[in-house]
């Protein structure tokens, strides 16, 4: 009989132990769930903090950069290219697609006498904007100053191809041909420049005839040289240079 009671008591204790264990397991799972929620909240809070901080930092940085650009442009306009260059470099490094700023940087290098670095800046502009006639024009002049006549001609031909209606492009290409000893192409280039120059710009037109006459002289063609000088004097009768050149071929 006592064995029956003992067995029943053990059964009761077993059930109690099981319930106690279940409660402990439930509390454990609840704590784990709470910990998980806390971790998630902390992670989300950190991400939001980092995002907001990053956005604020970017905004401040952008404001400083624009201010730097404005100061650099002001220095450039004053002719202080040495001081403008480092500020423009900072801006261009952060805004590589800003063609206007890069062009000012290139001009600053050019005017400061650093032609090779200026040329590299213009080449970068061409990569961004392949049909920029003004940049090809400047490249042509820079290549010419560096005695790279083939590249000078190639760049200026691109400028003319993109914008064939600009007299100054035609004139610069004519100069590049002359530097390379291609006098016939140079004469043709000057004549195209002449056709594009308004008659009201008499001094420039007279200067073009002087260039044409000089090229004929280089070709040992004094007849056509004299005719060019005479045409120039019809436009500007007081041009002393044209008079002296004409006297050489008479």
190-241 pLDDT, tens digit per residue, is: 999 999 999 999 999 999 999 999 999 999 999 999 999 999 999 999 999 9
Give me the pLDDT at residue 33, please. 74
User: What does the pLDDT look like over 73-128, one tens digit per residue?
Assistant: 999 999 999 999 999 998 999 888 899 999 999 999 999 999 999 999 999 999 99
Average pLDDT taken over every residue of the chain: 86
User: What does the pLDDT look like over 25-84, one tens digit per residue?
Assistant: 667 777 777 777 888 887 877 787 776 665 544 444 455 577 888 888 999 999 999 999
Pick the CATH number of 66-129 from 3.90.1150.10, 3.40.50.150, 1.25.40.10, 1.10.3720.10: 1.25.40.10
Give me the pLDDT at residue 88, please. 92
DSSP state letters, the chain: -HHHHHHHHHHHHHHHHHHHHHHHHHHHHHHHHHHHHHHHHHHHHHHHHHHHHHHHHHHHHHHHHHHHHHHHHHHHHTT-HHHHHHHHHHHHHH-TT-HHHHHHHHHHHHHTT-HHHHHHHHHHHHHH-TT-HHHHHHHHHHHHHTT-HHHHHHHHHHHHHH-TT-HHHHHHHHHHHHHTT-HHHHHHHHHHHHHHS-TT-HHHHHHHHHHHHHHHHHTT-HHHHHHHHHHHHHH-TT-HHHHHHHHHH-
Give me the pLDDT at residue 239, please. 95
Give me the pLDDT at residue 16, please. 54
pLDDT at 10 over 50: no
Residues in Cβ contact with 226 at an 8 Å cutoff, skipping those fewer than 6 apart: 213, 246, 249, 250
Give me the pLDDT at residue 192, please. 98
Give me the pLDDT at residue 12, please. 47
Q: pTM of the full predicted structure?
A: 0.73
């Amino acid at each position: 009989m006592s064995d029956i009671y003992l067995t029943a008591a053990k059964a009761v204790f077993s059930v109690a132990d099981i319930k106690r264990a279940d409660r402990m397991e439930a509390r454990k799972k609840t704590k784990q769930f709470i910990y998980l929620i806390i971790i998630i909240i902390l992670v989300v809070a950190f991400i939001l903090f980092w995002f907001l901080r990053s956005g604020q930092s970017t905004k401040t940085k952008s404001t400083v950069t624009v201010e730097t650009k404005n100061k650099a442009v002001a220095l450039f306009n004053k002719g202080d290219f040495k001081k403008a260059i480092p500020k423009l470099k900072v801006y261009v490094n952060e805004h590589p697609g800003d063609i206007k700023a890069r062009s000012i940087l290139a001009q600053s290098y050019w005017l400061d006498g650093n032609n090779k670095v200026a040329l590299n800046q213009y080449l970068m502009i061409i990569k961004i904007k392949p049909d920029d006639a003004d940049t090809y024009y400047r490249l042509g002049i820079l290549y010419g100053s560096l005695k790279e006549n083939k590249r000078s001609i190639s760049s200026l031909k691109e400028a003319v191809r993109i914008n064939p209606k600009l007299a100054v492009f035609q004139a610069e290409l004519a100069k590049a041909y002359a530097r390379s000893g291609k006098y016939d192409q140079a004469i043709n280039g000057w004549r195209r420049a002449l056709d594009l120059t308004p008659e009201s710009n008499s001094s420039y037109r007279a200067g073009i005839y002087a260039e044409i006459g000089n090229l004929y002289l280089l070709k040992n063609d004094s007849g056509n040289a004299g005719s060019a000088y005479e045409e120039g004097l019809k436009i500007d009768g007081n041009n002393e240079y044209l008079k002296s050149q004409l006297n050489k071929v008479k």
